[in-house]
Structure 1
Amino acid sequence: MSRRFPPVSLIGVPTDVGAGHRGASLGPEALRIAGIGQALAARGVDVRDCGNLSGPPNPWQPPVHGYRHLEQVVEWNRALMEASLRELRDGRMPVMLGGDHCLAIGSITAVARHCRDTGKKLRVLWLDAHADFNTNEVTPSGNIHGMPVACLCGLGPDALTRLGGDAPVLRPEQVRQIGIRSVDPEEKRLVKQYGLDIYDMRYIDEVGMKAVMQQALEGVDADTHLHVSFDVDFIDPEIAPGVGTCVPGGPNYREAQLVMEMIADTGRMGSLDIVELNPVLDTRNQTGRLAVDLVESLFGKSTLMRD
């Protein structure tokens, strides 16, 4: 099944500048130590590790006008946008090794521009415990890792919403959020106002993960570029403790595997974020190894040959 996938470029982005806990900056090395490159190569995927991007240090300052570290967040995202766009234009699949989830602004801005250039439709699957639809006016913390979906939909500072020149980068109907179980009080109002397509854990419990994924992938076809933004806190913290914002009650191992396998079955994944892995909070890289296991399933690993 690996023949469905283009060559992959791993792009490390070692920063926790958008997060509320330190440690996600170590995520890229934890994923490498867990063997992400070797695991994909073993599936027949052509893997190029581009190393880590460089950017400003985390100043660890309080919010200014509702944003923490906005200048540094912009700089990291611009570097990632440019690096991702280079790999896409070279016919490769960028796989971002984060880092915190604010970095999805840069990666998805690059993918959206590439889709405009190539005439592809863009669908984003946002696998996360959180909706990440805060703004500076409603955020409890000012941490920009809680704002990337809002920024991509045009709500936020120009430096981020117009990172690639055009805003909004996404329309809400292009995004499907899966596994959500933590939405801030005022964020709930924004989510409803903008009609975000959210499959929260209650809905998953009611209809099952297979039905959720069938709905989330409806309309994905040969003209679709599928971007997967995988926040490791999507998974239940009982099996994935190495994240900064644990929320109990997430998908279990088999549910998470089914998500990845059904995405792989489409053959349409063209880019991937892996974010919020925090090895400081992990147990012997348990969460890093689980993330790599799930990514293998995104690239076609399955129990039986199903073609």
Structure 2
Amino acid sequence: MKKHISIIGVPMDLGQSRRGVDMGPSAIRYAGVIERLEKLNYIIEDKGDIEIGRSNVDEGTTNLKHLKAVTEANTKLATVVDKVVESGSFPLVFGGDHSISIGTLAGISKHYQNLGVIWYDAHADLNTEETSPSGNIHGMPLAVSLGLGHPSLTNILGYAPKVKPENIVIIGARSIDPGEKDLIRSKGIKVYTMHEIDRLGMTKVMEETIQYLKDKTDGVHLSLDLDGLDPSDAPGVGTPVLGGISYRESNLAMEMLEESKLITSAEFVEVNPILDERNKTASVAVALMGSLFGEKLL
């Protein structure tokens, strides 16, 4: 990994319905992320937070909630991320809800021919306007990045799609909507549900993931939603799902990704301090970043 890291905060809470996740970037910083990464000899540039607009205008015929404001924020984010990648620094994005991945991937993918994506999440985030039960855009970013969804989202920075289905691995899924299941099957997207993690073990899952991506991608983005972990380890998330990945399994996954040297960008999303216990979830996020960037027990 590059020794320069650029941190970008995205205090976005418009992609979902529960308030508080806009304070996620501040909570992660408060949990000591900059100091922790500096101890690993990284040069950190904190670029501050993307400004999120508040829009209550009528969205017209769409049932996508806050479409205009979400699009504008992701366009700003994509522009910043694009410049970070161009500068040679490692983009590390803090959310905010998972709709911010639309902008992150838009800014990153233009620099790669075959960007790989590891989607570490309880949810597949493959809904579209037609399949979404809620209209919440945080359930759609992976579909949008595949070029499926509202044109204002899919065409951020003027190109689509951002990723190919064969370059995606979803890890930790345990809440998948019917429309998402159909899309996974039709596109042949590789998914390790909790069933596979329980049967195979995290070591095997990560070995297979790394092997699957390493020869056909020229960079790999890690998109880690804290609700991928079990709520007992990460309670401060908006859409918790029981039976998730443990904290220790997650640390192992990050350690294996660091050893693989595959990861070229990352984001940690859905930290909601209002729903948390003494900033536990932000602290977990920071610990996982430590492992991802080379922190060792010995």
Q: Normalising to structure 2: TM-score of the pair?
A: 0.95
Question: Structure 1 residues 139, 5: CA separation in 2 closer, same or farther (over 3 Å shift)?
Answer: same
Code of the aligned partner of 1:69 = H
Code of the aligned partner of 1:283 = E
Aligned partner of residue 214 in structure 2, secondary structure: coil
2:125, 2:184 → 1: CA distance?
Answer: 10
Aligned to 2:185: 192
State whether structure 2 residue 86 is matched by structure 1 residue 89.
yes
Aligned to 2:165: 172
Aligned partner of residue 270 in structure 1, secondary structure: strand
Q: Deviations over 1:58-110 (max 9, x none)?
A: 64989952311111110010000000011111110111111110110111111
Code of the aligned partner of 2:176 = V
1:132, 1:63 → 2: CA distance?
Answer: 24
Aligned to 2:145: 152
Structure 2 residue runs without a partner (length 5+):
none
1:114, 1:12 → 2: CA distance?
Answer: 21
Question: Structure 1 residues 214, 79: CA separation in 2 closer, same or farther (over 3 Å shift)?
Answer: same
Deviation at 1:115, TM superposition (A): 1.3
Code of the aligned partner of 1:40 = L
Aligned partner of residue 157 in structure 2, secondary structure: coil
Code of the aligned partner of 2:85 = L
Deviation at 1:146, TM superposition (A): 0.1
103-112 or 163-172, which deviates more: 163-172
Structure 1 residue runs without a partner (length 5+):
none
Q: Deviations over 1:231-274 (max 9, x none)?
A: 11111101110000000111112111111001101123211111
State whether structure 2 residue 283 is matched by structure 1 residue 286.
no
Of 184, 190, 200, the residue aligned with 1:207 is 200
1:252, 1:64 → 2: CA distance?
Answer: 42
Task: Check whether the contact 1:14–1:24 (CA below 8 A) recurs between aligned residues.
Answer: yes
2:61, 2:44 → 1: CA distance?
Answer: 40
Task: Check whether the contact 2:11–2:95 (CA below 8 A) recurs between aligned residues.
Answer: yes
Task: Check whether the contact 2:21–2:95 (CA below 8 A) recurs between aligned residues.
Answer: yes
Deviation at 1:6, TM superposition (A): 3.1
Report % sequence identity: 41
242-251 or 265-274, which deviates more: 265-274
Task: Check whether the contact 1:232–1:243 (CA below 8 A) recurs between aligned residues.
Answer: yes
2:228, 2:288 → 1: CA distance?
Answer: 12
2:199, 2:245 → 1: CA distance?
Answer: 13
Question: Structure 1 residues 155, 15: CA separation in 2 closer, same or farther (over 3 Å shift)?
Answer: same
State whether structure 2 residue 244 is matched by structure 1 residue 247.
no
> How many pairs were matched up?
297
1:254, 1:64 → 2: CA distance?
Answer: 45
Q: CA RMSD in A?
A: 1.8
